[in-house]
Amino acid sequence: MTAGAEGSGSGSGPAPAGARAPRRPVPWPALVLWLCLPFAQAGASERGIVVVDDRGRSVELAEPAQRIVSLAPHLTELLFAVGAADRLVATVAHADFPAAAREIPRIGTATQLDLERLMAARPDLIIAWDSGSPRAPLERLEHLGLTIYYSEPSDFGGIGKDLRRLGRLTGSDDLAERAAKDFEDAIDALRARYADRPPVTIFYQVWDQPLMTVNDAHLIGEAIRLCGGRNVFGHLEVLVPRPGRETVLAADPEAIVSGGPGEDRPDWLEPWEHWTGLTAVRRDNLFFIPPSLIQRHTPRIAEGTRMLCEALETARSRRGPETPP
Amino acid sequence: MTAALRPRPAHSPLMVLGTLGIVAALSVLTSVMLGSVPLSPGEVRAVFLGQGSDLARMLILDLRLPRTLAAFATGGLLAVAGALMQVLLRNPLADPYVLGISGGAAVGALLAMISGLGLAWVSGSAFAGALLSTLIVFGLAHGTGSWTPTRLLLTGVVVAAGWGAVITFLLAVRPSPELPGMLYWLMGDLAHARGNALPWLTLFVIIALALPLGRSLNVLARGPLQAAVLGVPVRRLEWTVYLLAALVTAVAVTTAGTIGFVGLIIPHMLRLVIGNDQRLLLPASALAGGILLTLADTLARTIIAPEQLPVGVITAMLGVPVFLFLLYRSRT
Amino acid sequence: MSAALLTLEGLVIDIPGRAAGMALDFPVLPGQCWGLLGPNGAGKTTLLHTLAGLRRPRAGRVLLDGADLHRVPRRRVAQRLGLVFQDHYDGFPSTVLETALIGRHPFLRAWNMETAEDHDLARRALRQMDLAALAGRQVQTLSGGERQRLALATLLTQDPPLWLLDEPTNHLDLHHQVAVLDLVHQEVAAQRRGAVLALHDLNLAATYCTHLVLMYPDGGMCWGLTEEIFHVQALERLFQQKLAVMDTPQGTWVRPVPGA
């Protein structure tokens, strides 16, 4: 990487003076990436950093990003995980993990951006959430020449990819690689241990009013499979189905796992306790997982998945002599 | 215009339009100077003189000015559409959305969003939805033979309710990632306004087309039979006004979603002060509507920055007290 | 003989739900004042609206200056005839002067503003209708009688050669009633105009109208010079009411006989 390269498509606005990335004599991380990872499109070139984002767009920087803006709480987490937190200049409301994220200046919410403050932060890289960030303002920013990376990991592999790509873009390849590897190792370990266990039917509750769950294509659906679970609504076409309570009763899952309105509020399990006919209720297989550990697409989902797998294992242990189908 | 005309003592057209023009210029200037990032007046002046820091230039020329111009044009369009609807339906309580136009536009936009189409398609689809709704209402209201304003109004209200049901349905069954984008259409939001050429062009065209119709509209306001006997081609004029108002509303809704209150209140307020001569009311509405929406949007994006308020809330908060004051004063 | 302002040719008015009545065939010449008499529902308003081109007849046609009324451009029609309605609609605020001024609409092109002359015409009309003092008032604050006179003032501003008046004396004080009919009579008699009035008052009709049309509720019609038409038997049949007749030097007067 050459510090003096003009490079392609860097951000607009005055570049912070004197803040250039240190030269690296031998690009070992780059070689490792080339040899070990399947996505051949990303690579370091003499022109700068080129990465493909989750939308298939090519994102190019002349040099690693120095002023990063993150447009969603989970994206902020990812940036912390790859060690780029010191270069985060702005983010949106509800970015609360890790605790240091709360100190970062806000520029609105994930759905309502304050473009003026965003531009005043003079970012050279914006990390956006493909399905969540508002399209029109981002289009305007693209027109004005700002560099945007759209993230949308839809499975465990996607989280690893995002970590590595963000590592590239921020010149944090080592840390990113380590974080990605740790994450993938944790997931692989869980998979090895639980994926082939006897299946447990499960209903995962994303929201309470209205009742919302996920199907097999969702990231949480993948976690369920990994833990040897069978999502009773997995076969539905909609990514986030809204079944009625009766439908759940009819499906009679062996375990019910839910999030809640807060990190330590299993409020949504209470309504189920009235239905004493449910298998899950009879065997006391009602489990709460703090939503930020499993509903955010970050490395912490490994922790949430571990809790899910242990919950399902507990459910298995409560099966009596009569083995359920 | 010759001098020995409108014998109204206090409100010559020139004075009214001149005053509104000055206020309009001031409101645009204010809107450009204010934002969530503070800029000193010196910096603003520098930008207009072609200098200024890159950030200031970008904030003013790329962000604030386009949004301000979009707000002004949209406000003008809504106010003119409201004035035309009120004449058409001969009802001072009519607003641009009463005939279901905004509902049709919203459904068009939502369907495009659900299909994952690009923003240009969303705008186009919204426009198509608005026009479709217009044709449906007009076709249904026509029925057997002549339609009356009452029939048109009732049909429009029912169709609007129908669209509302479709919107609720779409919001209920679609996955949540698209929800915030969909909600924008219903609340109205100038942050998403794209491109200024169409609203401004439409504003100029509608004023140019409506002014020569002004006196005929004045006569039409006295009742269709009276107008007919004075030589006004009533049916043709009503069709024309309806289509123009629908077109104008469609452009406004496509630009900034459904912003309420402007189209109802502005013509009404102006009527209390300057009377009902459409030749003056229409251009005055354009200016006053632009002023209201520009100021409302400025407040919406600065009051609780970096958060933003829906601009429709602000237009109501600004418009209602002023309107009540004028109503009270005119009670004599 | 001057040309007819309006000619009714086999004209059958269209009242929805009623069988076709008799056809009307007569010209309205300058200097003639035609009175329409008949009970409510006989079709006086319908006839006036048909003559004004606002409604289509069931049969026959109306000729304006010799041409089919519905083929003449609307503007031209509005320059040749004017109609004062029974009911007045004031949905939007407007001043008395502005309302009178709309009578000039048929004479102004789209981009023209009203000239000083137009204003003078309107003010003169208001004076003639004794409304000059109310020129700046809002129409919604006028009494029934004032509103009626304003409608007449609008007609005067329009100043067409043919006047169609639907019960112009409604709501008016007696002296205003007489003033209005005197004005009509004067304008007509000087050979400048023709007029068709729908009236309720038999005696006023007999006094001011040169010709009468009796419109029977079954659709029957009968028309001609007042002297020939104004007979007690015909009127009794028309109004289903016993009448008493008095001959005086000024003319024949009728009054209803109570209890009969």
Interface with chain B: mutation pick from A74, A112, A135, A152, highest number of B CBs within 10 Å: A112
What percent of chain C clears pLDDT 70, i.e. is strictly above it?
Answer: 99
Q: Nearest CB to C52: which of B219, B221, B229?
A: B229
Q: Does residue A47 register a pLDDT over 80?
A: no
Q: Does residue B5 register a pLDDT over 50?
A: no
pLDDT value of position B143: 64
Give the pLDDT confidence of A248-303 residue by residue, as tens digits.
999 999 999 999 888 888 889 999 998 888 999 999 999 999 998 998 889 999 99
Classified by CATH at the fold level, domain C6-229 comes out as Rossmann fold (3.40.50)
pLDDT value of position C13: 94
Give the pLDDT confidence of B99-150 residue by residue, as tens digits.
888 889 889 988 888 887 777 788 889 889 998 998 898 888 876 556 677 8
Q: What is the mean pLDDT of residues C17-27?
A: 92
Give the pLDDT confidence of B238-281 residue by residue, as tens digits.
889 988 998 899 899 888 888 988 999 999 889 888 888 999 99
A306 token code pair: 């571990």
Query: Going by C-beta distance under 8 Å and a sequence separation of 6 or more, which residues neighbour residue A67?
Result: A11, A16, A87, A89, A121, A122, A123, A124, A125
Which residue on chain C is closest to B235 by alpha carbon?
A: C54
Say whether residue A116 is in contact with chain B using an 8 A CB cutoff: yes
Q: Give the model's confidence band at C259: pLDDT under 50 very low, under 70 low, under 90 confident, else very high.
A: confident
B183 token code pair: 């909600």
Q: Give the model's confidence band at A39: pLDDT under 50 very low, under 70 low, under 90 confident, else very high.
A: very low
The domain locations on chain C are 6-229
Q: What is the mean pLDDT of residues A83-88?
A: 93
Give the pLDDT confidence of A112-142 residue by residue, as tens digits.
889 999 999 999 999 999 888 888 888 889 9
Tally of CB atoms within 10 A around B92: 16
pLDDT value of position B313: 85
CB contacts, 8 Å: B83 with chain C: none
Provide the phi-psi class of B21: left if phi over 0, else alpha when psi is between -120 and 50, else beta. Answer: alpha
pLDDT greater at residue B4 or residue B139: B139
pLDDT value of position A21: 43
Short-list A190, A146, A197, CA closest to A294: A190
Provide the phi-psi class of A228: left if phi over 0, else alpha when psi is between -120 and 50, else beta. Answer: left
SS3 A133: coil
Q: Does residue C198 register a pLDDT over 70?
A: yes
The domain locations on chain A are 38-184, 195-317
Q: Does residue B284 register a pLDDT over 70?
A: yes
Give the pLDDT confidence of C104-151 residue by residue, as tens digits.
999 998 888 889 999 999 999 999 999 999 999 999 899 999 999 999
A143 token code pair: 């027109």
d(CA C260, CA C253): 18
Q: Does residue B178 register a pLDDT over 80?
A: no
The domain locations on chain B are 70-329
pLDDT value of position A322: 58
Q: Does residue B7 register a pLDDT over 60?
A: no
Give the pLDDT confidence of A156-181 residue by residue, as tens digits.
999 999 999 999 999 999 999 999 99
Superfamily of domain A195-317: Nitrogenase molybdenum iron protein domain (3.40.50.1980)
d(CA B274, CA B75): 19
Class of A38-184 in CATH: alpha beta
Give the pLDDT confidence of C50-109 residue by residue, as tens digits.
999 999 999 999 999 989 999 999 999 999 999 999 989 887 888 999 999 999 999 998
Q: Which residues of B touch C (CB under 8 A)?
A: 1-2, 4-5, 7, 90-92, 212-213, 215-216, 218-219, 221-223, 225-226, 228-233, 271, 275-277, 279
Chains near B (3 or more Cβ pairs under 8 Å): A, C
pLDDT value of position B175: 59
pLDDT value of position A112: 85
The single-letter DSSP state of residue B118 is -
Q: Does residue A10 register a pLDDT over 50?
A: no
Q: Give the model's confidence band at A111: pLDDT under 50 very low, under 70 low, under 90 confident, else very high.
A: confident
Class of B70-329 in CATH: mainly alpha
Q: Which residues of B touch A (CB under 8 A)?
A: 35-37, 54-55, 58-59, 62-64, 119, 172-173, 175-178, 180-181, 184, 191-194, 301, 305-308
> Do the beta carbons of residue B102 and residue B253 sit within 8 Å?
yes
